Chain A
Amino acid sequence: MSRIIDHGLEEQSVLITRMAELTYETLALAIQGYLKGKSVQDEVLEMSDTIVAMSDKIEDKGFELIARFQPVATDLRTIKSYMKIGNDFSRFGRYAFDISFINDKLNGLKECENWCKDDIEEMSKKVLLTVRISIDSLRKHDTTLAKTISETEREVDKMYLDYLQKLIGQEDVSSKCVISSVLMTRYLERIADHAVYVCESIVYIVTGEKINLG
């Protein structure tokens, strides 16, 4: 038997799913632009603004559902978590914009050695994978898939620290490269962190448990 609240929950669910896909596209575009040295700042800015607007809508919807329907249990956890996840996704949008910004202003990886490019490309792939995991487990509320993010995120962390170590060891690296690549790897690492938060929220929705996946 469907309940009055189901319609509203469905609306919020559709919003978050659309936002998820847009977020992935935005990140992929920004990262590609950075790696290939193409300027995509305007496009990414527009997409990022859309993502922020969607996050606001999801929050408003959540408040409306709480005020009108007094949801409890799974419904309540879902609404609360979607609002939080919307926030995490809008962070992705922001980071995507930051990446395209430093690409524009600092010429991306053009000033860097090939080994930098390879390492960062490797790390980007892994980070996009974490985002993919978080989006897919969100769509299906799949806790098993969500929990697999731990391993990948640990790898991203390791790659981040390794890269920094390598950079410290190097003698003549251009300062533009240093700043640009350090900022980029920092953004990538934070993106992976937020993907983990999304997966933790999914486990909370389904089981009610608050766990640490990072």
Chain B
Amino acid sequence: MNNNAKIQSIELNAWFGSKQVLKDINLSVKANAVTAIIGPSGCGKSTYIRTLNRMHELVPNAKMSGKVLLDSQDIYASDVDPVIIRRRVGMVFQKPNPFPTMSIYDNVAAGIRLTGAKKGKNLDEIVERSLEQATLWDEVKEDLKKPGTSISGGQQQRLCIARAIALQPEVILMDEPCSALDPIATAKIERLVVELKSNYTVVIVTHNMQQASRVSDFTAFFYLGALVEFGETNDIFESPKNQLTEKYITGEFG
């Protein structure tokens, strides 16, 4: 196990039915850094991050093999409860999905209330802290009782981020979080991602290479289910070692 690694996949394979979508992925994600995963559509990047929080197995006919080590513990060991793993590895999705029947306050508190972690906690404090970390507090502090869906798309996405970090996960997975947002909202989320890394480990899937080069410290390039190249973002975008990586990032295909 790599010493600096927060979460690491070893010989990871994944299938949907008989179709193999991930092949022998060995990838080490460094703690307190932003790692971007890029690649053309269908290359397996979303599937990959879903194996990191055991969401992949919720799809009917989904299978996987290999190990995923979170701080040296294999999250797929037979005595591990996937629900506990998901509390340590949070996720933000492509389309903002706040709970429609809950207020802004309730949305942020939802993780704590619904996982039975409410005992002895000051919810007001936690909600405020999470919304502040998600840079949304100032915009909604007067409207906490309003429905979670009454704010703009970009704000909803930051609300989802606040909801995820309220549980204080160790890792935050983001699956193309800015795809559905306008450029200004996207810029706010990107700044937030860079700020988050001081407290969390972030893995962000993006099909936007410029975004990957802006926000990440490390970049992994996936193609047809395989990890083609992985390295510091500077190196990947200045002098990639693999011809395929070069072709993809310079726009020759994809």
A contact residues vs B (CB 8 Å cutoff): 1, 3, 5, 70-77, 207-209
Least CB distance from B48 to A in Å reads: 23
Complex Cα gap A77–B239 (Å): 8
Q: Is B250's CB under 8 angstroms from A75's CB?
A: yes
**Chain A residues closer than 8 Å to B251, beta-carbon distance:** 3, 5
Q: How many residues of B contact A (CB 8 A)?
A: 14
Q: Is B238's CB under 8 angstroms from A72's CB?
A: yes
**What 7 A-B pairs have minimum CB-CB distances, sorted nearest first?**
A208-B239, A72-B237, A3-B251, A72-B249, A73-B246, A70-B210, A73-B250
Complex Cα gap A208–B238 (Å): 8
16 A-B pairs besides A1-B253, A72-B209, A77-B239 with CB distance below 8 A are: A3-B251, A5-B251, A70-B210, A71-B250, A72-B237, A72-B250, A73-B237, A73-B239, A73-B240, A73-B250, A75-B250, A76-B237, A76-B238, A208-B238, A208-B239, A209-B239
Complex Cα gap A81–B89 (Å): 43
Q: Is A73's CB under 8 angstroms from B253's CB?
A: no
Answer whether residue B213 sits at the interface, using C-beta atoms and an 8 A cutoff: yes
Q: Is A73's CB under 8 angstroms from B252's CB?
A: no
Which residue of chain B lies nearest to A69 when distances are taken between CB atoms in the complex?
B251
24 contacting pairs across A/B (C-beta < 8 A): A1-B252, A3-B250, A3-B251, A3-B252, A70-B210, A70-B213, A71-B250, A72-B213, A72-B237, A72-B238, A72-B250, A73-B237, A73-B238, A73-B239, A73-B240, A73-B246, A73-B249, A74-B246, A74-B250, A76-B237, A76-B238, A77-B239, A207-B239, A208-B239
Complex Cα gap A209–B239 (Å): 8
Complex Cα gap A209–B253 (Å): 25
**Chain A residues closer than 8 Å to B237, beta-carbon distance:** 72-73, 76
Complex Cα gap A209–B238 (Å): 10
Complex Cα gap A207–B240 (Å): 10
